[in-house]
Amino acid sequence: MDSTQQRPATVSLDAFVAQGWNDHGDDAEGVWKRLPDAIPLVTEPKHLPTLCGLVVHVSAEHLGRFDDGLAYLARLEALPLYDAASPEGKAVLRSKAVLHLCAGRRAESRRLEDASHGGTAPPASNRIRVLATAASALANLGRIPEVRALFEEAIGLAAYGPTATDQAARSLAITGNNLAALLENKPHRTPGDTALMVRAAEAGLRFWSIAGGPTETALAHYRLSRSLAHAGQAARAAQHATCCLEVAAKAKDEFSTFSGHEALAWARQISRDLVGARRSRDDAAKALAAISDPDTRAICQTDLDALDAALAR
């Protein structure tokens, strides 16, 4: 090699995974094909949970290739640093439990779930995490009846009252939010789909209020407002849009402020208060101007364009 040339810098596992999360929405197959390149980058036990999250999400939620995901996780188990008794090793076992559950192998999933339990949280916490992750994956594949059963089982298990330090609360918050958003965009929702959409958004708010900060809570109010609007419940939609704005004001968060005004405009639009809807739309546009991050601005602009199209009809 020419001494003036430099070898390419080695990519860290964290950077590799971050790039995978950035790319997977547009090119899940491409991310999956390059995932084997991550295995040599796993040099510390803490890398295992980081990589598992991406592997399960892409193989299950986007590609529906559960056994391919399991084969990849088996390669992680073969690494010298893997220890099934460690918290990081248990994360691999929990990921395997999710994939087996998605594939319909409940007995094997339960065995791995039991093996992955550890720490001070009750066994129900671990099971909720498996159920919620599987529900998210199957929702993206359109398997709504199975999703409903898994999600309701997870909500029922949460009767013990997970706290902010319990990962079950965060899992339920994320799944509730994601499931509600997916069902909002589903064409030809059945009445059962609509009921599940609202139920999921309510759970998202309940558990983000436990596991998240002001921004997450504000956006959970936003999600519930939008789900209620899609369900035709204008008054409740307006109520939660207002709550979103109240929490966003305390947090001084521009994105949540935009979201609250946007949600309030939708709530007023479906109640045929077009004057109020346009006023809230203008408030959303003002909030958009205060957002500095270009990616966030682009997302908000798309939402504002959709609102404008609805108000123009």
Decide if pLDDT at 9 tops 80: no
pLDDT at 120: 86
Element (H, E) at 8: none
Q: What's the domain count of the chain?
A: 1
CATH code at position 94 = 1.25.40
What is the C-alpha to C-alpha distance for residues 267 and 244, in angstroms, rounded to an integer? Answer: 13
Q: At 10, is the pLDDT very low, low, confident or very high (cuts 50, 70, 90)?
A: low
pLDDT at 7: 36
What is the C-alpha to C-alpha distance for residues 310 and 313, in angstroms, rounded to an integer? Answer: 6
Q: What is the residue range of 23's domain?
A: 10-118
pLDDT at 4: 40
Q: Identify whether 39 is part of a domain.
A: yes
Residue listed under structure tokens 């087996």: 100
What is the C-alpha to C-alpha distance for residues 25 and 95, in angstroms, rounded to an integer? Answer: 20
Decide if pLDDT at 1 tops 80: no
CA angle 107–66–102, rounded 5-degree value: 45
pLDDT digits (tens, 9 = 90+) for 219-245: 999 999 999 999 999 999 999 999 999
Decide if pLDDT at 299 tops 70: yes
Tell which wins on pLDDT, 9 or 201.
Answer: 201
Percent over 90 (pLDDT), the chain: 94
Q: Identify whether 292 is part of a domain.
A: no
Structure tokens at 57: 């999400």
What is the C-alpha to C-alpha distance for residues 194 and 9, in angstroms, rounded to an integer? Answer: 50
Decide if pLDDT at 5 tops 80: no
What is the C-alpha to C-alpha distance for residues 113 and 299, in angstroms, rounded to an integer? Answer: 37
Q: At 3, is the pLDDT very low, low, confident or very high (cuts 50, 70, 90)?
A: very low
Residue listed under structure tokens 């519930």: 224
Q: What is the mean pLDDT of the chain?
A: 95
pLDDT at 119: 82
Mean pLDDT value of segment 192-220: 97
What is the C-alpha to C-alpha distance for residues 256 and 88, in angstroms, rounded to an integer? Answer: 34
Quick check: 304 and 277 in contact, CB under 8 A? no
Mean pLDDT value of segment 279-285: 97
Q: Identify whether 123 is part of a domain.
A: no
pLDDT digits (tens, 9 = 90+) for 140-166: 999 999 999 999 999 999 999 999 999
DSSP, collapsed to helix, strand or coil, labels residue 313 as coil
pLDDT at 11: 83
Q: Identify whether 82 is part of a domain.
A: yes
Q: Identify whether 222 is part of a domain.
A: no
Spatial CB neighbours of 211, under 8 Å, sequence gap ≥ 6: 164, 166, 169, 170, 173
